[in-house]
Amino acid sequence: MASSCEDSDDDFVVLGTPVPEIQEGVPLKKPTNVQDLTARDKHGRRRFHGAFTGGFSAGFFNTVGTKEGFMPSEFVSSRDKKNDGRQEFRPEDFMDDEDFEEHGIAPRKFATVSSYTSEERKRKLLDDAQQITAKSSIDLGSSIMDLVIPDRVPIGIKLLRKMGWREGQGLGPRIKKKKKKGKKAASAKGVKMYGCAPPPSDEADSDSDRYVPEDMSEVSFAPQDVCPISLEAKDNVHGLGYRGLDPSLALSGSHINLFDTGGPAKSRSRGKGIKGQAFGVGVFEDEDEDIYAQEDMSQYNNTMDGGKSKDSNFGWTAPREHGKVNVPVSYVGKLLEGFCLSSKPLKPGRKFPPPTLPRHFKPQHWFRKKRITSHLPEDIGVDGSESGSRSSGLTAVDRGLILGETPVMSSVFDLIPAHDKQRIEATKEAISMTQSLTGSEAGPSKSATQQAGPTESGAFSQLSEMRETTESTQAKPGSFLSKFKPAEVTPADNGSTSTSGAAPKAPLFQGGLNFQPFRKDPVKQERYDRYLTLVKQGVQDPYSSVVSSSMTEWDRSRERDEFAKAAKIFRPLSAMMSSRFVRGAMIDDDTAEKPMEAESEKSDQGKAADMKMFGKLTREEVEWHPDKLLCRRFNVPNPYPGSDIVGLNTVKRDKYSVFNFLSFGDYQPSETQEPPSAETKRKNETTETTEPETGFHKRKKPTLASVFKVLDDPDFHKPFAPKPETETADGGTTETLEAPGNDEGNEKPDEDSAPDMDLFRAIFKNSDSETSDDSDDDKGSNDLGDEKEESDAEDVKDVTLVASPEEQRTGSPSHTPPSKEAIKDELSPETTPVNQELTPIHRQSESTARLENPFSSVQRDPGVKSRRGRSRWEGKSVFSVLDDLDVESKDTTPNGDSVASRLSPSQTETVTVDENTDEYGPRLPPGLSSTPAPSISASIQPVVREGEPRRLYSREADRKRHKHKKEKKKKSKHKKDKKGKKHKKKSSRSGKSKQESSGSEADSESSDGSEVSDNELIERFKTVSKKSGLTSNILAKKL
Amino acid sequence: MTWANKKTQTLQCKQGAVRAVRFNVDGNYCLTCGSDKSVKLWNPLRGLHLKTYSGHGYEVLDAQSSGDNSHICSGGMDKTVVLFDVSTGQAIRKYRDHAGTVNCVSFNEESTLILSGSLDCSIRTWDVRSRKNQPIQVLDEAKDSVTFVQVSDHEILSGSADSRIRRYDLRIGRMFTDFVGKPVSCVNFTRDGQCVLVSAQDTSIKLFDKDTGEMLNEYTGLKNSNYKIESCLNQSDTHILSGSEDGKIYVWDLVEAKLCDTLDHETSRAVHSISHHPSQPAVLSACGDNVSVWESNSEAGDVS
């Protein structure tokens, strides 16, 4: 021990690899990483290789992957030992000695050969002993042998054998077999079995393998040799039923049966007991997807229809079964999968009917009108008195006034000082008056009519009032402003005009509000008012409830038409404007709006369409250029090979431009503003018939449209009875009352309507071709006569057409010579002297002719002229249409003058061009004019007409006229305006009938009202104010 | 019976509301335009759905197949006109130049052009042969939505909501405008090309002489106030058929203007689109979400 103690190093047992000692000067070795460590075998060869070098040490001495490669087997074949190539290889041939080692894949170990085992040796010994004993005849007995030879049977078996057990028997106590045969027989006896017998019960089946004799009931048998159920005691701390990962299952590596439905397995896992995951999910959670679970086919779709593989089959679908789902035809909607329509429909929920509306209920809320007028002091006073009763009616202005504040201006009109306001009123009055005069060209002023007193029939005053109101309603801003100039004139005039009581209190543009077309006839006016209110309420056939019983049937129907037309026509400007714009929450007023709206949609084509008269009336044809390529694609030659226009040829005017609408009075269509040169050129055309075409070929549409005027005309449907009479009446002075409205026809047989008539005839197949021929003849000759009459043909054209028929008839002898002169005149328009010479004569003759038979021209040619002129007449004044029956029936005397009166303005204007003529004097007031009593007394008598017969007396006026050269210039300018006006009238004829609000026609219509220019206005004013003797003052102010 | 009078099939189109139904050129197939942005190709007489064409971005309002059945053009509320290849179902071209819903499309007779009428008051002509995306020509004379376009060999006929029908004659280079009075919902040439059948929002259908614009006949009885109801002529120009808003097809005799028959769909929905077989007495009508096929019940007898 001491030695051992001395040698202490030997005492310690060294385990592991010693840490190498740190040596100075030698750099430290890097510690080797785990991946750098390599497993090597006992020869120091590397045991594992990479995947590409053979994995395990591959090949003979790791030659796989090396240059040498796998060692080839040698091929040996000799004569006696042939190598037939079918060398049998054993697995061992491909193994190296490592594989045979203890840890190799085919370990080889040394073991005793079976012949050397104890069993074998015992048998050998036995055999040897038997041989020996048999020879020696000494029976040693098995017991000896057993003693000699060690028994190697296990002790358990030995013990069992001792207990009586034999090989092949089960363990356990012996059991007795129960008797079952008898039972079975008894059951078989008692129960009859039909058909197939059920298979024998499993008890019997289980016992059937063993034969049990009948009588050996007492014999007991050993139990069968079956493995007993092992009841394992729970010996772990896992949860009940938990089984850990079974390596045999997890790593079975066996075939996964995909086609095993696995239904029961799933149900098993969902069954009772706790199985599966170690950490269960909560009660309220779904079990997680078992991602390690075996897949089976239940997790796949069995059917192919679900997947929509669009592109694989390009969307083609197989034919489908029909009638699988029988959805009723009426059912619209998608039927949900798995649902079917119920046979009995749902009981609909209880419905509550909407409340019944009152009869006249309109679904619109109308705000109370308190806009402009409410700020006026008198209104405020009224409101203030009311305020006690209902304070809620007070506006902010009212309250402010109560508090003594100065009201806030909410209207431009509030800013106008009082006297200016007065002036505006007066101006308005004047304008309306003058416009009324323009309408009938020679009508007396309103005050004149008022003063005329009891003699007047009232018809004309109605006319003039109507006109006044229409024109005030249609007054447009532009024209209105231009008319502000004469405002200075008005204050002096105010007194006289205010007596008429027509000064409207309402703001300017609501002029139509208090329009009373039948003011002269209060009863009628009252009926009309009631009619309007009924119309507003939307009552059907409003006239029937208004009509008075004292009227005749004819009167009634006539008045009904009158009312309808008046209601149509006299609508306020605001309504007209509102038809152009989208309506806001409230508009200025809604008077008579409803019939307007209904009517405004109608166009000529619309009317034609309504009357089912398709064809020329509804057709338009324009040039249209298709694209070259379009033609080529259509395989059609290009209709316009040279042109590079595509689409429509013409540039259309924008109908809906705001400027078109705003250019009220001052705007004239371009045609009307043609330079005079064009006019003279046109004049030089000797054939008058071409003139309308040249002048109006552009206005084809309006003329077409005007056909419907004729249709609208009540007279149209009347028989043409007066026709023969008028034929005979040529040159005569007989007066016929039968033909109402013929005078209008006389007024304006303008040629523009001629094509209409033809067309009209063509369409309506009227048989009055004779009369139309006549009229055509008249036209031709008259036109010749016209030209001589007016050298300045610019504005003459329409007027001549107007004048011509009666000229032809009345003064045909006197006219023929001047007509030649006129032609001469046309050829040389500069020769004014001739013209001057001519005009007075002609004028004289004409005027005298007219004076002689003022009425003859009226009934001259009623059939023709009413036809031709109707449109014109409507365009001119609807009131004449409305009331001409009245006019004729009531006052027969002045009736004819209206015709002449229509002539007059043009004549006067032509005269004004000739400065030296004495004939000019139309502005003489009636008061100064001595002679023409009928003209004064007749309410219809227009101002200009008055002047005409008085030309001889008009030197006084002439004197004044010299002062007003400026005016004249304006007048000459105004002539153009007038001409334009004529054009407009023509176009507005259509507008009158339909009152349509759309497009340019409405424009022309609206511009109709503003035809009176400033100069003319002043002229009218003069005549008006002369009566009161204020003209000189006014003129002085003006100039 | 020379007109179709028996319902033989009902195609459950399953594409929402069917906006239009159109026979192809030879009448063996038909196209339905659905509000689910799809166009479907059917064999209507057997009731087979053959193919679905998708490529529109919104409801498809009209479609037509080309003369060789190789292409389909369609227009819809996505303001595009789409040209489909029939066999592959691919959208070959998409023309996007309209400023509004495309109401109607039509090939010309050679199927080299597509004409499309739109809510933007214009008809645009598209060249199928070129790859240009711009129209050849824009016919913008209409003042309101163009509701229907028909093409003959040298004419373009269009109906518009401004109550006019316009006929562009390429041969003589003129445009004829006829005022009808009510917004036009459908215009059709008769098969002899002499007359024009016009459906307007009215209680009647009118037959106009093409050259003069005069009304030749009027067929009354139907109800057409809100919808774009279509009308058509039968295969031999002897009868006139029209859908109606009371769920019926009205059949009139062309000459006598007598109502011959009404084909009741047993629904209160409007029958808005109909299309007549080019050679046989068979009519397709679109009502709600399905298409009904009507054939003459004596057709079998005629054949035998």
What digits encode the pLDDT tens for the residues B212-222?
989 999 999 88
Contact B125 A627 (CB under 8 A): yes
Contacts of B89 in chain A (CB under 8 A): 314-315
Contact A622 B174 (CB under 8 A): yes
- Collapse the DSSP code of A256 into the 3-class scheme (helix H, G, I; strand E, B; otherwise coil) and give the result: coil
- Collapse the DSSP code of A973 into the 3-class scheme (helix H, G, I; strand E, B; otherwise coil) and give the result: helix
- The pLDDT score that the predictor gives to residue B79 is 93
* Mean pLDDT estimate for chain A: 56
- The pLDDT score that the predictor gives to residue A48 is 66
Q: CA–CA separation, A796 vs A781, rounded Å? A: 15
Nearest to A630 among B137, B181, B208 (CB): B137
- Give first-to-last CA distance, chain A, whole Å: 163
- The pLDDT score that the predictor gives to residue A244 is 74
Contact B208 A614 (CB under 8 A): yes
Search chain A and give the residue with CA nearest B216. A614
- The pLDDT score that the predictor gives to residue B103 is 95
Each residue's pLDDT tens digit, A534-549? 877 777 777 777 777 7
For the residues A909-938, what does the mean pLDDT come to?
41
To the nearest whole percent, how much of chain A has pLDDT over 90?
Answer: 0
The count of CB pairs under 8 A between chains A and B is: 143
Tally of CA atoms within 13 A in the half-sphere of B158 that contains its CB: 34
* Mean pLDDT estimate for chain B: 91
- The pLDDT score that the predictor gives to residue B23 is 94
Q: CA–CA separation, A282 vs A286, rounded Å? A: 8
Q: Is the pLDDT of residue A626 over 80?
A: yes
Yes or no: say if A669 and A983 are a contact pair by the CB < 8 Å rule: yes
Each residue's pLDDT tens digit, A838-888? 333 344 444 333 444 444 443 444 443 434 434 344 344 444 444 444 444
Residue A692 neighbours by CB under 8 Å, 6+ apart: A751, A752, A754
Element (H, E) at A620: strand A619-625
- Give chain A's largest Cα–Cα span: 203
Beta bridge partners of A624: A648
**Nearest alpha carbon to residue A470 among A370, A565, A599:** A565
Least reliable range by pLDDT among A623-632, A847-856, A1014-1023, B124-133: A847-856
**Nearest alpha carbon to residue A692 among A276, A370, A365, A983:** A983
Q: CA–CA separation, A911 vs A704, rounded Å? A: 34
- The pLDDT score that the predictor gives to residue A943 is 39
Chain B neighbours among A 880-899 (CB < 8 Å)?
Answer: none
Each residue's pLDDT tens digit, B194-216? 999 999 988 889 999 999 989 99
Mutant choice from A308, A327, A617, A630 vs B, greatest count of B C-beta within 10 A: A630
Each residue's pLDDT tens digit, A469-497? 444 444 444 444 444 444 333 343 444 33
Each residue's pLDDT tens digit, B140-170? 999 999 999 999 999 999 999 999 999 999 9
Looking at per-residue confidence, does A526 or A798 come out higher?
Answer: A526
Chain B neighbours among A 39-68 (CB < 8 Å)?
Answer: none
- The pLDDT score that the predictor gives to residue A577 is 60
Contact with chain A for residue B290, Cβ under 8 A:
yes
Q: CA–CA separation, A963 vs A984, rounded Å? A: 32
Mutant choice from A602, A610, A629 vs B, greatest count of B C-beta within 10 A: A629
Each residue's pLDDT tens digit, A71-94? 556 777 888 887 776 667 777 777
- The pLDDT score that the predictor gives to residue A864 is 39
C-alpha distances in angstroms, A871 versus A83, A398, A655, A874, A937?
Answer: 133, 52, 23, 5, 29
For the residues A794-803, what does the mean pLDDT come to?
41
Contact A317 B163 (CB under 8 A): no
- The pLDDT score that the predictor gives to residue A58 is 57
Long-range Cβ contact pairs of A402-411 (< 8 A, separation 24 or more): A407/A375, A407/A380, A410/A372, A410/A375, A411/A371, A411/A372, A411/A375, A411/A507
- Give chain B's largest Cα–Cα span: 53
- The pLDDT score that the predictor gives to residue A540 is 73
Q: Is the pLDDT of residue A427 over 80?
A: yes
Q: Is the pLDDT of residue A512 over 80?
A: no
Nearest to B51 among A316, A319, A623 (CB): A316
Contact with chain B for residue A348, Cβ under 8 A:
no
Residue A516 neighbours by CB under 8 Å, 6+ apart: A465, A469, A525, A528, A529
Beta bridge partners of B107: B114
Yes or no: say if A619 and B213 are a contact pair by the CB < 8 Å rule: yes
Contacts of A618 in chain B (CB under 8 A): 178-180, 213
- The pLDDT score that the predictor gives to residue A162 is 86
Contacts of B171 in chain A (CB under 8 A): 636-637, 639
Q: CA–CA separation, B23 vs B42, rounded Å? A: 9
What burial class does residue A64 get, using C-beta atoms within 10 Å of its C-beta: 0-12 exposed, 13-18 middle, 19+ buried?
A: middle
Q: CA–CA separation, A426 vs A439, rounded Å? A: 20
AA identity, residue A924: L
Contact with chain A for residue B206, Cβ under 8 A:
yes
Confidence category of residue A153, pLDDT binned at 50, 70, 90:
confident
Q: What is the DSSP letter of A280?
A: P
> Listing from the earlier edge strand, what are the strands of the sheet with B146-151?
A647-648, A619-625, B174-179, B164-169, B155-160, B146-151
Q: Distance, in angstroms, between A374 CA and closest chain B CA?
A: 43
- The pLDDT score that the predictor gives to residue A644 is 81
Most confident of A196-200, A340-344, A509-513: A340-344
Q: CA–CA separation, B222 vs B242, rounded Å? A: 8
Confidence category of residue A501, pLDDT binned at 50, 70, 90:
very low
- Collapse the DSSP code of A604 into the 3-class scheme (helix H, G, I; strand E, B; otherwise coil) and give the result: helix
Looking at per-residue confidence, does A365 or A465 come out higher?
Answer: A365
Contact B289 A622 (CB under 8 A): no
Q: Tokens in use for A671? A: 């045609």
Q: CA–CA separation, A123 vs A126, rounded Å? A: 5
Element (H, E) at A446: helix A446-452
Each residue's pLDDT tens digit, A802-849? 434 444 444 434 443 444 444 444 444 443 343 443 333 344 444 333
Contacts of A640 in chain B (CB under 8 A): 173
Nearest to B173 among A322, A334, A639 (CB): A639
Confidence category of residue A749, pLDDT binned at 50, 70, 90:
very low
User: What ipTM does this complex have?
Assistant: 0.92
Yes or no: say if A600 and A996 are a contact pair by the CB < 8 Å rule: yes
Each residue's pLDDT tens digit, B102-130? 999 999 999 999 999 999 999 999 999 99
Each residue's pLDDT tens digit, A275-321? 444 455 566 666 666 667 666 777 677 666 554 444 444 555 544 44
Least reliable range by pLDDT among A115-124, A282-291, A832-841, A952-961: A832-841
> Which residue in the block uniquely carries the two structure tokens 């003022």?
A854
Least reliable range by pLDDT among A269-273, A644-648, B259-263: A269-273
> Which residue in the block uniquely carries the two structure tokens 């749902």?
A346
Q: CA–CA separation, A171 vs A444, rounded Å? A: 152
Each residue's pLDDT tens digit, A598-607? 444 457 778 8
Looking at per-residue confidence, does A1034 or A431 come out higher?
Answer: A431
Mutant choice from A320, A326, A329 vs B, greatest count of B C-beta within 10 A: A329
Total Cβ atoms within 10 A of residue A370: 14
Mutant choice from A601, A610, A622, A633 vs B, greatest count of B C-beta within 10 A: A633
Q: CA–CA separation, A919 vs A836, rounded Å? A: 10
Q: What is the DSSP letter of A563?
A: H
Q: Give DSSP secondary structure letters for A804-861.
A: HHHHHHHSHHHHHHHHHHHHHHHH-TT-HHHHHHHHHHHHHHHHHHHHH-TTTTTTSS
Q: What is the CA radius of gyration of chain B?
A: 18
Q: CA–CA separation, A802 vs A178, rounded Å? A: 145
Confidence category of residue A389, pLDDT binned at 50, 70, 90:
very low
Total Cβ atoms within 10 A of residue B303: 7
Q: Is the pLDDT of residue A953 over 60?
A: no
Nearest to A609 among B125, B179, B289 (CB): B179
Contact A647 B127 (CB under 8 A): no
Contact with chain A for residue B90, Cβ under 8 A:
no
- The pLDDT score that the predictor gives to residue A523 is 82
Contacts of A629 in chain B (CB under 8 A): 127, 136-137
- The pLDDT score that the predictor gives to residue B189 is 94
Q: Is the pLDDT of residue B301 over 90?
A: no
Three-class HEC string of chain B: CCCCCEEEEEEECCCCCEEEEEECCCCCCEEEEECCCEEEEEECCCCEEEEEEECCCCCEEEEEECCCCCEEEEEECCCCEEEEECCCCCEEEEECCCCCCEEEEEECCCCCEEEEEECCCCEEEEECCCCCCCCCEEECCCCCCEEEEEECCCEEEEEECCCEEEEEECCCCEEEEEECCCCEEEEEECCCCCEEEEEECCCEEEEEECCCCCEEEEEECCCCCCCCCCEEECCCCCEEEEECCCCEEEEEECCCCCEEEEEECCCCCCEEEEEECCCCCEEEEEECCEEEEEECCCHHHHHC
Q: Is the pLDDT of residue A169 over 50?
A: yes
Q: Give DSSP secondary structure letters for A102-120.
A: TTSSS-------GGGSHHH
Q: Could you give the domains of chain B?
A: 6-303 (2.130.10.10)
- The pLDDT score that the predictor gives to residue B72 is 95
- The pLDDT score that the predictor gives to residue B62 is 95
Structure-derived torsion over alpha carbons of residues A950, A954, A960, A962, reported in degrees to the nearest 10: 110
